[in-house]
Structures are given as structure tokens and as C-alpha cells.
């Protein structure tokens, strides 16, 4: 019996080889009909024997192409129209419809083989790709995802590329960035001292010259998928130090790209899960334990025991790092390169050639450019493996803007995120589209990038917000942005948003959990600076049941760059004596007295319950660091030193009175250990154990009072792997159900998701 079915599919189903997969599947089962891309997904009409039609529908979800991901399949009976063939129809725009977009994808194994095959017509071509790899999100201007709506529209295909593009059985069928040396983008190497055409190296010559310059210790600005990198030899101490000097980045670790996994394993410890993450479709930066005695320059990651490592994810990266190809071997290149964002500190990464040549000229000795435009700026993602789980520190290339699936239907909502590590979030139906990492909004260029990205993603996903959610802080740029929109505004408390983000990340419904929101800074409902909070929270509301004792923050936000100020201010408020401690001897006595006067007179010394600031104070007291050059540096270095002492370390004393964690005994214990010359690592280990014991005590007491047994851990402090592991294990041993972040960062990079879900439950 001949039957007909109409099938509608949603998910990541465009630009990933889904239509040729459907075409092949229909041919395999002898079915006729058609398949079409629309701005709402993919529609399929099949006609044929009933058994074959049912087999087709079954295989549609069980034999997907590597990059495809289905959210839904809707099957309805249809009229038999007596088609004689199965064909792929031109894409169709449906007004107001939308669909998820594939993130950019690392070079696949098939294309990598062709890249280094001297008999292939794309041999050593730096823009080789197919439906299983290459740029997606960063080149898309509009939907449906077809070449005319991408930045590849400027590159008409040659006859050979068009033949592949139009062949449903070819791996490059409707691969929108498909190109070759005869018709596609080209690379060029340019000296920043001269914009003249005569000073340009082209094609393979440019790549060979770049390899030479890197080997000579030069710093090269390299245009990538979502922006420029600054590259140099990671084993050359002089080159790395010079890059730090030029970039104005005193201590923050650089990311490093290795030629291949074998090379990487010579430098870092890599387990099975980490290897899978490093070599997968996304290829993020992965935090790995550094092996002892490598020739990586010390100042790549000073005072760290981990390295942010990644593998080549574009063909151009492979060509710069490859050590085996005969043609490339004509010019030596280092197998390990620093690959850091192409910007001055705190600015957005450069994406445009002319802008890069002007803005990055003080940073780079030469520029390796190409002429394929980047439409959407997108940094590298940063992740680590926690057991067998992926944990994001920064979610961007390879993952954004893939949506988080919500446990409820949402209204069209824009959540604008926070001030630091900004991302924003758009919701529609059961999708939450969390943007790529935008950056710190205190920089004017980052704010401009934020505005452009909000406009771009709102258009792509056809979201016209009915609600805009923003942080309660009245001074944030994102709050000002929200106030300009002519839609209903929902201010959201910072730490409530953190807990809601963790709940949504774990697909929880609107129920109460005990939220441990440990963070650096957040505007509280009482106008104070919160950050060490225990909340009874749902999406709809929250109650603050416990928090760290309020202590002064002398100088306000500026104190975050000078942990010694926090240590002195906390001690002054608690009546603790510090003058004999070693870290005090290096401080200016007048500056110390000013801080003490600020606390005594309550002048520019706002009160804070911040867990992040408590970490700063303990790190300074222990002699780890009195001043920092990047956010959380003191806390990160304290954790590094603590790891070898954590097992068996005894917690410091502390008190909890009426829901307030009193800190005098804890800090006095730290001071006593400093006086007795205990190592900073042991002090840090005891501090970590104290926070873990404190968290368990509060959760146990709250469970006794409320019967609630589920814990959500959120806020930037939970990116401390030592504290996370200790606390999660101890809570689990107490029979709590513990949730942490997997799809989104625990820091402010996930804040917008929490704002969005809270706004949807606001009355």
C-alpha cells in the first residue's frame, strides 16, 4: 500500500548535511517526494510503501549526520501526490519562523586528510571545509542558512566546487562555505609598518613566511574563525614576555595551541575524557595539568599548575603548526604556539582586517590576514573536565549559540546579563539562546559589540522581546541599556539569577532549592554588596536564609585589585592585629593607615558579604598576593598552593549566629598560622576545608527547618575545582542532591540564563 507522510524536523538541521542524509535515506527505502529547508526547520514529504516509510521515519533520528541534532520530529498523514523522484527543493523563508543555528565546527578528519594530500585539489588550502566542519555561526547574516545569507556570498563558486555543492551524494552538498584555491578566500601576510600592496606575501608563501617569523620569535596577528589571535612561540621566553608587555597583560595565563595530541601529551597530563574534548567537533581551550620540567616559557602561565591547551581547529592552524608535510617542512615552525585573543586587555577581539591593522599594530610584528569576512565576533571557549562532565569557564566558539532547552514554555524575553564576563540570553518557546562570551561591559568597545550582537541574534531567532530582564544594580551599563527599551522591565537580584541559572541548566521545574551562591560582587536588596549567600530559591522568588558577615571593602571596587586592602579592612573591623605579619612589612605605612581610617570613619568602605573578597583577604594574609593584575588571581593562586595539603587539613573555627557566618575566629586562625610560619598552601587548604564545613552545616540546618534536600551551587567561586569537589562530595555523603553547572558557566557568563527564567515567572 502506498502512503504519504509530511514530516517537520527542528533542531540543528541546516548546514550539517541533513538534507543529503534525507535524500540518501529516501533513495535507500525507494521513497519519492522532497525535502526543503525553511526558517522554521526542515520539512519532508515522502511517498512509498508503508513499511519503507515507517523504516525511513525510524532511521531519521537514529542515523543522524555527525553534526545534526534533533529537538523534535512531527509526522502527519499527507495526500499521495504521485511523485516519481525524490528531490531537494530550494530553501523557503517563513515569516517569523526560526531555528537553532550550528556553532562553528573544527576541521573534520576527512578534510584534514585532503588538506595534506598532494593529489587533492585543495592540498594545503587554508579554507577547506565540508558539511561536517567549518564556519557556521560567525559567517551567518540571516536565515535560512544559504550561501547568499553568509559572508561567502562574495565568492562565486568555480565549476568544480559548484558540481560538489549541487550533488546530493557529495560530502560538500550545500556546504555553504565550500571553496577552493580557484574561487575561495585567500591568505596574505602583511607588515603593519606598511599598508602597501608591494609589502604583501600571498597564499602558501604567506604561510611559509609566517612559520619562519614565528620560529624567529616574532608576534603574529592571525585572523581566525571568530576573530584575531596573537601568536608566538610558546617555548620562547623573550617572545612571551614581549607579548605580555605589548598587550598589557601582566599575569593572566595565555592559551596554548599544540600541533597535535601527541605533542600536547609531552607537556600536559591528559586523561581519556580530556582527550575526547580536545579532539571533538568543538575543540575548546581545555585546562590541563602541566607536567614537570617542560620547555614551555614560564610566563605563559605564571604560578599556575594548569595550562589552557587546545588543538588546531581550522585548516590555517594546521598549516601553521604541522611538522610532517614535505612542503611545509621547507620552513620550520614551532609545534607549540601561544594563541591569545587579538586585542589589548579588556577590549573586544578584532575581526575586521583594517581595524586589526590599525588597532593591533602596536602588538604584532606582522599580520596573517584573509578576505572572508567575520560577521559575528566569537572568542574561544574555555572548559575543564570535572570527572566525566564538561564544565565551562567561558562558553563561546563551538558551543554558542546552541540553545539550552528550558523545562517550560517561555515568552519572548531578552536578559542582558551582568557587567563582567557578559553574555545575554534570548528565550522563545522552550529555547534559551545564550550568546557567546561578550566581555566586560566597562569598556566602550565591548558595549558596542554587545549592542550589535543583541540586534544580530534577536533577528536570527526572530525574537521581539516582550520582557527585558536585567541586574538590580542601577549603575550597570546593561541596566541602562534595558531602561532604553520600550518593553516591560524585570530587575533581578544577582545571586537569585545565579541559582536560577543552575536550576535551568539542570532542567529543574519551579521548585525550591537551597542555593549556595558564592560570588565576587552582586547588588543586594539592601543596597549592600552580596556574594556569600545561602538562598531558598525558586524561579519565582527567593529568601535569604544565611550569608557571610558584612565586612568593609575599603575603596569599594578598586579594592579588588589590591587584596591587602581587603585583608587590612576586614581585620580592622574585627579588631585583629596584623602589624607583625610578613605581608605587612612590604606595604606603605601611610596607605595602611588610610585604609584603617576609612574603616573607622566608614568613608568609602561599603559593606560586603562577598565570598570572593574573603578569598582575597585570606590570600593576602597568607602572603600569596597583595596586589593582582587580573580578576581572582589571588584566589586562583591560593587554590594552586592548597591542593597538596587539602586531604586531612583541619578547618578553622567559625560561628553561625542567626543565619550570619561570623568570620572573626576564622581570620584569627589564619593569622595564628601565619605567625607560626605555616606554609601558605596549608593555610589555603584549611580555608577550603572551612568553607566546605560551613556550607554543609548551613545546608543541614536549612534542611532541618524546611525539609528541602536539593542544593544548587552557582557563582564564580564554584569554578574553584578544589572547593567544588570537597563540598559536593561532603553534601552527597549527607544525602543531599547536588546540582552544579554543565551547559553554562557558573560565573557571570551564565547569569543571563537565570535572569531570563526568573523574568518568565515574574507577575
Task: Render pLDDT for 530-542 as a digit per residue (tens, 0 to 9).
Answer: 999 999 999 999 9
pLDDT tens-place string over residues 377-408: 999 999 999 988 999 999 999 999 999 999 99
Q: Is the pLDDT of residue 438 over 50?
A: yes
For cell 601565619, name the residue.
674
> Can you tell me the distance from the alpha carbon of 670 to that of 56, in angstroms, rounded to the nearest whole number?
67
Give the three-class secondary structure for 286. strand
Cβ neighbours of 405 (radius 10 Å): 11
- Going by pLDDT thresholds of 50, 70 and 90, the confidence category of residue 194 is low
SS (H, E, C) 590-616: HHHHHHHHHHHHCCCCCEECCHHHHHH
Q: 435 exposed, middle or buried (CB, 10 Å; 0-12, 13-18, 19+)?
A: buried
- Going by pLDDT thresholds of 50, 70 and 90, the confidence category of residue 763 is low
Q: Is the pLDDT of residue 196 over 50?
A: no
In this prediction, residue 97 carries a pLDDT of 64
> Can you tell me the distance from the alpha carbon of 692 to that of 728, in angstroms, rounded to the nearest whole number?
9
Span 29-56, average pLDDT: 92
Q: Is the pLDDT of residue 85 over 70?
A: yes
pTM: 0.93
Give the DSSP letter string of 386-454: ETTEEEEEE--TTTTTPPEEEEEEEEEEEE---SSSB--EEEEEEEEEEPPP-B-TTSHHHHHHHHHHH
For cell 551567518, name the residue.
140
In this prediction, residue 200 carries a pLDDT of 67
- Going by pLDDT thresholds of 50, 70 and 90, the confidence category of residue 91 is confident
Q: Can you say how many angstroms the Cα of residue 719 is from the centroid of all Cα atoms in its chain?
A: 13
Span 667-681, average pLDDT: 97
- Going by pLDDT thresholds of 50, 70 and 90, the confidence category of residue 92 is confident
Q: Is the pLDDT of residue 735 over 60?
A: yes
In this prediction, residue 95 carries a pLDDT of 66
- Going by pLDDT thresholds of 50, 70 and 90, the confidence category of residue 17 is confident
Q: Is the pLDDT of residue 578 over 80?
A: yes
> Can you tell me the distance from the alpha carbon of 335 to that of 263, in angstroms, rounded to the nearest whole number?
8
- Going by pLDDT thresholds of 50, 70 and 90, the confidence category of residue 198 is very low
> pLDDT: is 102 or 637 the higher one?
637
Q: Is the pLDDT of residue 199 over 70?
A: no
In this prediction, residue 193 carries a pLDDT of 65
In this prediction, residue 192 carries a pLDDT of 74
Give the DSSP letter string of 154-167: GSPPPHHHHHHHT-
For cell 576573530, name the residue.
227
| Residue spans of alpha helices (H) in 609-750 | 611-621, 633-642, 664-675, 680-706, 721-733
Span 551-572, average pLDDT: 95
> Can you tell me the distance from the alpha carbon of 186 to that of 209, in angstroms, rounded to the nearest whole number?
15
Span 660-668, average pLDDT: 98
Percent with pLDDT over 70 in the chain: 98
Give the three-class secondary structure for 119. coil
- Going by pLDDT thresholds of 50, 70 and 90, the confidence category of residue 69 is confident
Span 85-98, average pLDDT: 78
pLDDT tens-place string over residues 403-415: 999 999 999 999 9
Q: Could you tell me whether strands 529-537 and 655-657 are parallel, antiparallel, or unpaired per DSSP bridges?
A: unpaired
For cell 623573550, name the residue.
238
> Can you tell me the distance from the alpha carbon of 192 to that of 355, in angstroms, rounded to the nearest whole number?
12
> Can you tell me the distance from the alpha carbon of 476 to that of 418, in angstroms, rounded to the nearest whole number?
8
Query: How far is it between the farthest Cα atoms of the chain?
Result: 93
In this prediction, residue 20 carries a pLDDT of 86
Structural domains present in the chain: 2-92 (3.30.70.100), 187-370 (3.90.870.40), 387-546+745-760 (3.30.420.360), 547-739 (3.30.420.40)
> Do 59 and 9 touch, CB atoms closer than 8 A?
no
In this prediction, residue 489 carries a pLDDT of 97
What cell was used for 653? 573555627
Percent with pLDDT over 90 in the chain: 86
In this prediction, residue 442 carries a pLDDT of 81
Picking from 509, 502, 560, the residue whose alpha carbon sits closest to that of residue 535 is 502
Span 285-301, average pLDDT: 95
Cβ neighbours of 146 (radius 10 Å): 19
Q: Is the pLDDT of residue 141 over 50?
A: yes
Q: What is the mean pLDDT of the chain?
A: 94
Handedness of CA 553, 558, 560, 563 (dihedral sign): negative
Handedness of CA 162, 168, 170, 171 (dihedral sign): positive
Span 495-516, average pLDDT: 97
pLDDT tens-place string over residues 211-227: 999 999 999 999 999 99
Amino acid at each position: 500500500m502506498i502512503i504519504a507522510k509530511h514530516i517537520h524536523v527542528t533542531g540543528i538541521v541546516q548546514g550539517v548535511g541533513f538534507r543529503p542524509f534525507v535524500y540518501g535515506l529516501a533513495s535507500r527505502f525507494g521513497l519519492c517526494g522532497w525535502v526543503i529547508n525553511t526558517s522554521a526547520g526542515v520539512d519532508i514529504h515522502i511517498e512509498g510503501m508503508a513499511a519503507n516509510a515507517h523504516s525511513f521515519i525510524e532511521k531519521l533520528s537514529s542515523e543522524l549526520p555527525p553534526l545534526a541534532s534533533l529537538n523534535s520530529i512531527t509526522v502527519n498523514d499527507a495526500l499521495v501526490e504521485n511523485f516519481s523522484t525524490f528531490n531537494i527543493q530550494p530553501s523557503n523563508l517563513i515569516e517569523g519562523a526560526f531555528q537553532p543555528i550550528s556553532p562553528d565546527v573544527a576541521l573534520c578528519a576527512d578534510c584534514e586528510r585532503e588538506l595534506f594530500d598532494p593529489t587533492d585539489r585543495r592540498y594545503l588550502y587554508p579554507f577547506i571545509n565540508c558539511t561536517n566542519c567549518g564556519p557556521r555561526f560567525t559567517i551567518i547574516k540571516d536565515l535560512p542558512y544559504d550561501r547568499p545569507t553568509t559572508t561567502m556570498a562574495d565568492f562565486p563558486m568555480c565549476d568544480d566546487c559548484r558540481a560538489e555543492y549541487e550533488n546530493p551524494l557529495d560530502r560538500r552538498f550545500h556546504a555553504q562555505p565550500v571553496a577552493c584555491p580557484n574561487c575561495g578566500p585567500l591568505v596574505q601576510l602583511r607588515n603593519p609598518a606598511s599598508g602597501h600592496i608591494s609589502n604583501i606575501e600571498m597564499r602558501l608563501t604567506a604561510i611559509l613566511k609566517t612559520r619562519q617569523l614565528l620560529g624567529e620569535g616574532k608576534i603574529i596577528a592571525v585572523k581566525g574563525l571568530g576573530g584575531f589571535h596573537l601568536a608566538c612561540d610558546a617555548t620562547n621566553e623573550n617572545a612571551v614576555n614581549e607579548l605580555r608587555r605589548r598587550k598589557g597583560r601582566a599575569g593572566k595565563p595565555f592559551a596554548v595551541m599544540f600541533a597535535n595530541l601527541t605533542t600536547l601529551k609531552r607537556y600536559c597530563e591528559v586523561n581519556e575524557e580530556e582527550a575526547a574534548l580536545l579532539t571533538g567537533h568543538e575543540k575548546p581551550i581545555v585546562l590541563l595539568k602541566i607536567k614537570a620540567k617542560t620547555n614551555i616559557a614560564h610566563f605563559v602561565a605564571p604560578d599556575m599548575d594548569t595550562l589552557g591547551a587546545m588543538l588546531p581547529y581550522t585548516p590555517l592552524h594546521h598549516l601553521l603548526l604541522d611538522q610532517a608535510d614535505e612542503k611545509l617542512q621547507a620552513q620550520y615552525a614551532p609545534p607549540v604556539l601561544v594563541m591569545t585573543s587579538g586585542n589589548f586587555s579588556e577590549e573586544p577581539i578584532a575581526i575586521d582586517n583594517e581595524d586589526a591593522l590599525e588597532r593591533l599594530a602596536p602588538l604584532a610584528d606582522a599580520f596573517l590576514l584573509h578576505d572572508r569576512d567575520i560577521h559575528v565576533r566569537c572568542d574561544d571557549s574555555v572548559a575543564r573536565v570535572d570527572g566525566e562532565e564538561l564544565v565551562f569557564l567561558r562558553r563561546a566558539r563551538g558551543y554558542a549559540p546552541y540553545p539550552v532547552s528550558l523545562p517550560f514554555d517561555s515568552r519572548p524575553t531578552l536578559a542582558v546579563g551582568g557587567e563582567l564576563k557578559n553574555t545575554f540570553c534570548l528565550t522563545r518557546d522552550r529555547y534559551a539562546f545564550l550568546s557567546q562570551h561578550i566581555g566586560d561591559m566597562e569598556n566602550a568597545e565591548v558595549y558596542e559589540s554587545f549592542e550589535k550582537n543583541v540586534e544580530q541574534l534577536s533577528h536570527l531567532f526572530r525574537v521581539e522581546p516582550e520582557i527585558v530582564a536585567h541586574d538590580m544594580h542601577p549603575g550597570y551599563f546593561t541596566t541602562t541599556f534595558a531602561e532604553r527599551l520600550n518593553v516591560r522591565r524585570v530587575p533581578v537580584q544577582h545571586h537569585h539569577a545565579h541559582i536560577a541559572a543552575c536550576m535551568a541548566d539542570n532542567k529543574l521545574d519551579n521548585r525550591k532549592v537551597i542555593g549556595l551562591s558564592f560570588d565576587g560582587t552582586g547588588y543586594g536588596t539592601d543596597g549592600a554588596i552580596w556574594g556569600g549567600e545561602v538562598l531558598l530559591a525558586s524561579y519565582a522568588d527567593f529568601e535569604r536564609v544565611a550569608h557571610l558577615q558584612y565586612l568593609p571593602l575599603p575603596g569599594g571596587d578598586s579594592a579588588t585589585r589590591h587584596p591587602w586592602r581587603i585583608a587590612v579592612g576586614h581585620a580592622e573591623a574585627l579588631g585583629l592585629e596584623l602589624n607583625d605579619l610578613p605581608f605587612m612589612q612590604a606595604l606603605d605605612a601611610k596607605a595602611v593607615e588610610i585604609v584603617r581610617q576609612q574603616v573607622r570613619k566608614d568613608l568609602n568602605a561599603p559593606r560586603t558579604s562577598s565570598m570572593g573578597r574573603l578569598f582575597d583577604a585570606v590570600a593576602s594574609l597568607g602572603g600569596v598576593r597583595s596586589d593582582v593584575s587580573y580578576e581572582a588571581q589571588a584566589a586562583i593562586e591560593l587554590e594552586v598552593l592548597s591542593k597538596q595539603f587539602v586531604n586531612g587539613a583541619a578547618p578553622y573555627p567559625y560561628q553561625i549566629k542567626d543565619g550570619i557566618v561570623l568570620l572573626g575566629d576564622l581570620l584569627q586562625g589564619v593569622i595564628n598560622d601565619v605567625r607560626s610560619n605555616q606554609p601558605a598552601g596549608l593555610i589555603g587548604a584549611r580555608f577550603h576545608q572551612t568553607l566546605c564545613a560551613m556550607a554543609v552545616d548551613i545546608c543541614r540546618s536549612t534542611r532541618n527547618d524546611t525539609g528541602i534536600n536539593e542544593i544548587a551551587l552557582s557563582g564564580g567561586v564554584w569554578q574553584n575545582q578544589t572547593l567544588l569537589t570537597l563540598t559536593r562530595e561532603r553534601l552527597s555523603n549527607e544525602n543531599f542532591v547536588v546540582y552544579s553547572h554543565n551547559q553554562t558557566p557558573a560565573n557571570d557568563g551564565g547569569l543571563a540564563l537565570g535572569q531570563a527564567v526568573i523574568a518568565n515567572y515574574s507577575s
